[in-house]
């Protein structure tokens, strides 16, 4: 029941939580009193995130594509805090862009799916049993507008995010009768390091499709994501929330 849960003492695990969208959400949840555990492969980013997030949060160097590494990190969090209330899968990569499908490298395609899709399942499988024990949990998979519409020149990324949306629908239904809610969020263009690394013509292609004619902000992402994983979001599951400046109205 909603009245039995609050932000107080909640624990959130965020993959890719030391940079970009994941770090923006980590800061917002920390401000709400949540103990945030950021997972990232980059030890320097983890060190910086731990310093900025403060003493109530943690950072663990983890390769989220490795089931053994993920289990080790999850076990460490549960050993320290006794619980994981929130799982956010924010780690991701675009892979090759501005390239047509017949030119896509299969190796690159596999790398994108390993991080953007397979890692979401790896972390979910490691965390879900702990949520089931307490009959409570909030899971957020970060998808993309590209998973709904498909961005030309971004086959691997668009396909992987469509898979994330499909995973969200399945998991939402499978755990609907428990206290676990599984949703995803589909941003359009938000100014992150990943977006900055894209070719300018690719960014223009995406931004021109947004009725608001601008990128989303980190703050807008963090506020929306925080609601999705909040105790108050109790009657929505298997849903992909929009964050596209009016581009997706479905």
pLDDT means per 10 residues in the chain (250 residues)?
Answer: 69 96 97 97 95 94 98 98 98 94 98 98 98 98 96 95 98 98 94 77 82 89 98 97 89
The owner of tokens 């947004």 is 210
What does each C-alpha distance from 115 to 5, 226, 234 come to in angstroms?
32, 23, 28
pLDDT at 204: 82
pLDDT at 33: 95
pLDDT at 2: 43
Has domain 2-232 been given CATH number 3.90.550.10?
Answer: no
Return all residues near 231 (Cβ < 8 A) that are at least 6 apart: 2, 5, 6, 7, 10, 138
Structure-token pair, residue 234: 């109790």
pLDDT at 4: 54
pLDDT at 3: 42
For residues 10 and 84, what is the distance between their CA atoms, to the nearest angstrom? 7
Q: Measure CA 50 to chain center.
A: 19
Total-model pTM? 0.93
Helix (H) or strand (E) holding 241: strand 240-243
For residues 233 and 138, what is the distance between their CA atoms, to the nearest angstrom? 9
Could you tell me if 54 and 78 are in contact, meaning their C-beta atoms sit under 8 angstroms apart?
no
For residues 104 and 236, what is the distance between their CA atoms, to the nearest angstrom? 37
Helix (H) or strand (E) holding 224: helix 218-228
Sequential DSSP letters for 80-94: HHS---EEEE-----
Domain coordinates of the chain in residue numbers? 2-232
Structure-token pair, residue 37: 């555990």
pLDDT at 82: 97
pLDDT at 191: 77
pLDDT at 201: 83
Q: Known catalytic residue: 157?
A: yes
Catalytic residue among 136, 157, 175, 205: 157
The span from the first CA to the last CA of the chain, in angstroms, equals: 29
């Amino acid at each position: 029941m909603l009245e039995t849960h609050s932000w107080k003492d909640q624990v959130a695990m965020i993959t890719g939580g030391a940079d970009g969208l994941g770090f923006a959400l980590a800061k917002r949840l920390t401000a709400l009193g949540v103990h945030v555990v950021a997972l990232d492969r980059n030890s320097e980013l983890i060190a910086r995130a731990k310093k900025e997030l403060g003493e109530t949060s943690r950072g663990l160097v983890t390769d989220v594509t490795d089931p053994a590494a993920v289990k080790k990190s999850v076990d460490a969090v549960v050993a320290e805090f006794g619980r994981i209330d929130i799982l956010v899968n924010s780690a991701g990569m675009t892979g090759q862009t501005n390239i047509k499908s017949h030119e896509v490298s299969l190796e690159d395609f596999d790398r994108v799916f390993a991080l953007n899709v397979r890692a979401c399942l790896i972390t979910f499988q490691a965390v879900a049993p702990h949520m089931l024990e307490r009959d409570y949990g909030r899971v957020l998979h970060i998808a993309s507008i590209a998973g709904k519409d498909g961005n030309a020149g971004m086959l691997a990324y668009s396909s992987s995010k469509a898979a994330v949306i499909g995973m969200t629908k399945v998991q939402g239904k499978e755990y609907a009768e428990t206290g676990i809610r599984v949703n995803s969020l589909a941003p359009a263009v938000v100014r992150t390091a990943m977006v900055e690394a894209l070719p300018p013509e690719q960014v223009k292609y995406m931004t021109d499709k947004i009725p608001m004619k601008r990128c989303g902000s980190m703050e807008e992402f963090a506020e929306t994501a925080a609601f999705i994983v909040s105790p108050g979001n109790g009657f929505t599951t298997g849903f992909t929330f929009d964050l596209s400046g009016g581009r997706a109205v479905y």
